[in-house]
Amino acid sequence: MIDRSRGTLYPERLPPLERLPAQGGAADLVEWFWVPEWDLPEGAVSRQPVLGYPASNLVVEEDGVALYGPTTRLTERVLSGRGWAVGALLRPAALLALSPAPAALIDTSVRVDAPDLHAAISAVMPGGARVASARMGEWLDRRAGPRTTQARLANDAAALLMTDRGVLRVEDAAARLAISVRTLQRLAHRTVGLSPAAMIRRRRLQEAAQRVRERPGESLAAIAAELGYSDQAHLANDFRTVLGLTASEYRPDVTSGSGSAKIAE
């Protein structure tokens, strides 16, 4: 099971947020639903740096429905005023039904023409997170139709790449799935949009950030070794390349609460 807290770099800054499991037919389409609601004082702004999961999200907001592709860099959500969103972290079986070219969604988003879904969610929001997530799950289940063999294999591959710390190389994942490396690469491209190697790197960086955040007394060298980095320098390089700061810089920011001042756009 995917740790639902990994992608949030500064959890204490989140607005009220519910993370809800997918039920029934939506269970093989959605990792989980996430439903934030916020009501900020006039002039106040909340900035949320996010190290996203290697997956796409379907999101309903007051102004419409959008499909957000996987990201290759740190993103930031800026909240102000009053609002809500109902999102679903999608499994590959759902994305196959929503996009003919997942790779084209990387680091971008597209509007989804789904007035029925928007109306169904808007009718119960704000305040109806559980009903809203159930309605989104039912909509996705109808949209996806019967799950194909490819969709189920893609789900299995994504789950392995996103959760198994023992999978450090694409070859490890291919062997576990009993398919060739080339087959796995093609499958990930068609159903996620990212390469298997990119998915492994994102999972590992998410886990590293979580360890740095939650274990302030643990050495960075020990964290690097635990997560399969060749050395501490490679861990620091991953932080710098994607987050715009090193693991050493992130740690005092987290423990002091000073946070995003060092986060680069």
Distance CA 161, CA 206 (A): 13
d(CA 232, CA 172): 23
Q: Tell me how far apart the alpha carbons of residues 118 and 69 are, in angstroms, rounded to a whole number.
A: 19
Domain assignment of residue 101, yes or no: yes
Predicted pLDDT of residue 2: 61
Which residue type, as a one-letter code, is found at position 213? R
> 10: alpha, beta or left, given left = phi > 0 and alpha = psi -120 to 50?
beta
Widest CA span in the chain: 56
Q: What is the pLDDT along the chain (265 residues), one digit of tens a residue?
A: 566 667 788 877 777 889 999 999 999 999 999 999 999 999 998 888 899 999 999 999 999 999 999 999 989 888 999 999 999 999 999 999 999 999 999 999 999 999 999 999 999 999 999 999 999 999 999 999 999 999 999 999 999 999 998 899 999 999 999 999 999 999 999 999 999 999 999 999 999 999 888 888 888 899 988 888 888 888 888 888 998 888 778 876 665 554 433 322 2
Q: How many domains does the chain have?
A: 1
Give the domain extent around 99: 11-144
Give the Cα separation of 233 and 247 in Å (integer): 10
Q: How high is the pLDDT of residue 6?
A: 77
Q: Is residue 161 part of a domain?
A: no
List alpha helices for 74-123, DSSP H.
92-98, 115-122
Tokens of 158: 């994504």
pLDDT at 264: 26
Residue 188 lies in a domain: no
Q: What is the pLDDT of residue 265?
A: 23
For residue 60, tell me if it sits in a domain: yes
133-147 in b/e burial notation, b at 16+ Cβ within 10 A?
Answer: bbbbbbbbbeebeeb
User: How high is the pLDDT of residue 146?
Assistant: 94
262: helix, coil or strand? Answer: helix
pTM of the prediction? 0.89
- 219 domain-assigned: no
How far is residue 137 from each of residues 19, 55, 82, 96, measured CA to CA in Å?
14, 17, 25, 15
Tell me whether residue 258 is in a domain.
no
Tokens of 244: 């715009």
The span from the CA of 179 to the CA of 173, in Å, is 9
In a domain, 136, yes or no: yes
Q: Is residue 4 part of a domain?
A: no
